[in-house]
Amino acid sequence: MAKEGKEQLRSNVASAIRDQIMARTVHPGDTLRLGQLAEQLGVSVTPVREALLLLTQDGWVRHEPNRGFRVAAIRRKDVEDTYLMWSTAEGEIAARAATRATSRDVDYLREIDRRIREADPEDGRLATELNAKLHHYVSVIADAPKLDWFARAASRLVPLQFPENFHVVPGWSEVNRTQHGPLIDALAAGDVEAARSGTAAHFHGTGELLMRWLDSLSFWEEPDDDLVAPRSPGRLAG
């Protein structure tokens, strides 16, 4: 299998396991058994192990010697911190795009936004796909791969993924239909500060919608002591 195919398989398996954690099919502290997951997902053990290592890096799973992989607790403050970093990175990407956007770029973004506004309200998946397409193109305009890397890393830590599920969050559809226009206007005007602050506020507001919804579902669980990563020694004062 080509490298790209292996990476896609690993990503798909990681997404499937993350969905189980989100759906509470498995709970904080549960052991994730490689063979059982491989059988459930119809793959070999190798991509399951690779997916679990990826999820360990992203904080969804903990890898413990002699105990294997265990589901980690998802803490509200960790998601808040993730949105802080994500909104900051996206704001900087938009600011960079404001210095580079051409009239053709702006026209393309406006066309995507038009499709979002005219999409069938019942077709939430199309709306989320178009949303992802719009923000991805802003990052293409910006040509800031390091900032884009930070934004994508943050997006993996959010306990709901945009392309698959975010349309179920109450209030998100309205935000998706109404808030992109001013951001595109800022890019068209080359207004760096408006692009930065508007985009950061857009992502931060989306995060607040998610948090309120998860609050209503009693999603958060206080972690057991053995599910909290041990503190590392602090840095010595200089």
Strand partners, 69: 32, 63
pLDDT of residue 237: 34
Give the global pTM: 0.75
Question: What does pLDDT average to in each consecutive run of 10 residues of the chain (238 residues)?
Answer: 75 87 84 93 94 89 88 88 95 98 98 94 83 96 96 82 66 92 98 98 94 85 50 38
User: What pLDDT is attached to residue 214?
Assistant: 86
pLDDT score of 84: 95
Q: Give the per-residue pLDDT at 191.
A: 98
Taken in order of first residue, the domains within the chain and their CATH numbers are 3-72 (1.10.10.10), 76-216 (1.20.120.530)
pLDDT, residue 230, reads 43
